[in-house]
Amino acid sequence: MKILHVEEHGVSLEEVHEVTRFHAKILHPKFSLISVILRLLSLNVDVHCDVVLYMAVKRSTVISRLYLLLRNSSQKEAVQEREKGQLSQGYSEFLLSSPNGSLKLNNWFALKNPLSTSINPEKIQLLPADTTPSCCKMIMGNTGVDIEMELIGDDKRTVWRDMLRTDEYITETHSTSAVLGAGGPAESSLTGSAEQQLHSVRTEFVKRVSRPVLNELLDGLLQHTVINQEEMESVKVIAERAEKARDIIDMVLRKGNESCSRMINLLGELDPCLCSLLQINSVGVPT
């Protein structure tokens, strides 16, 4: 009888010195030399990888997590499962550009962002395919700016650099406060009926409202009987964010001033920063 070791890069056999009913005893354990050599060589394997960012804007703060994932592996699915709960809380997934060329497996890379207030941990390791990938959490205290990022190896060489522009992430994240710079309220507000206010900000609403807010807005409009189930379902199937926003605001505008007031009230609860930016105030019907 022999003990078979099945490892990532091969197999090895161990001699058994004593066998009982429930145990096999090995007096002088040893490992396959080939297996050891292969394991050592794996430290220098060149691999290709992808960079994935999960990010949300919370008032005047940008919170993000950056992952370095082996291409064509199950790591991406593992990360998506880990982040599934965060996506429902306003986080969005961004597949960034890939590093130029291959990287060394198991090497460490430092994440740099000149505008970040915190990066923890400061370095990320490119881990094997059968390992759950690690991430760097990055926080920016100022928003409404392009996000520049780079990964630097231990040899001080930049292996990856990318920029996420404001107009790319502001419409996908839960809060639109980033467009306000410091996140302060607008100095003045629109006057007139709710219908007049909503009509005057239609273009900016379509441009700036985020996808998560639209989904919650639909649920609120249904709950307050501004729209019916059939109308909600017809909008939910629309994949493109701007088209969905356009359909929602046009549908409410056709229903008159009371419905417009309810929509403004709901929007004020879901994204007060957007309401401040659009300078709209609810009038009339409370939610």
Tokens linked to 119: 């990066």
Which of 278, 49, 63, 276 is closest to 169 using CA atoms? 63
Q: Is 285 a domain residue?
A: no
Count the domains in the chain: 3
* Cβ–Cβ < 8 Å for 83, 54: yes
77-89, pLDDT tens digit by residue?
A: 989 888 887 776 7
Q: In 10 A of CB 14, how many CB atoms?
A: 17
> How far is 104 from 45, CA to CA, in rounded Å?
6
Q: Is 183 a domain residue?
A: no
Q: Is 77 a domain residue?
A: yes
Q: Is 260 a domain residue?
A: yes
Give, in degrees to the nearest 5, the angle at Cα 155 between 154 and 158.
90
* Cβ–Cβ < 8 Å for 69, 93: no
> Can you name the residues that pair with 4 across neighbouring β-strands?
13
As a whole number of Å, the end-to-end CA separation of the chain is: 76
53 shares its domain with 162? yes
**22 pLDDT band (50/70/90 cuts)?**
low
Calculate the alpha carbon distances from 200 to 188, 191, 206, 275 in Å.
Answer: 15, 10, 12, 13
112 shares its domain with 163? yes
3-state secondary structure of 23: coil
121-158, pLDDT tens digit by residue?
A: 999 999 988 888 889 999 987 667 789 999 999 999 99
Query: CATH code at 140?
Result: 2.60.40.2660
| Alpha helix (H) residue ranges in 170-210 | 194-200, 202-208
57 shares its domain with 162? yes
Ranking 182-191, 210-219, 241-250 by mean pLDDT, the lowest is 182-191
28-68, pLDDT tens digit by residue?
A: 665 555 545 545 555 568 899 999 999 888 766 888 999 99
226 shares its domain with 156? no
Is pLDDT of 11 > 90?
no
Tell me which range, 16-25, 54-63, 155-164, 187-196, is most confidently predicted by mean pLDDT: 155-164
229 shares its domain with 264? yes
> How far is 123 from 107, CA to CA, in rounded Å?
10
Q: In 10 A of CB 105, how many CB atoms?
A: 18
141 shares its domain with 68? yes
97 shares its domain with 17? no
**162 pLDDT band (50/70/90 cuts)?**
very high
Q: Is 100 a domain residue?
A: yes
Does the global pTM surpass 0.85? no
Is pLDDT of 172 > 50?
yes
200 shares its domain with 105? no
34 shares its domain with 50? no
16 shares its domain with 58? no
Q: Is 225 a domain residue?
A: yes
Q: What is the pLDDT of residue 179?
A: 40
Query: CATH code at 266?
Result: 1.10.533.10
Which domain, by its residues, includes 94? 46-168
* Cβ–Cβ < 8 Å for 52, 94: yes
Is pLDDT of 269 > 80?
yes
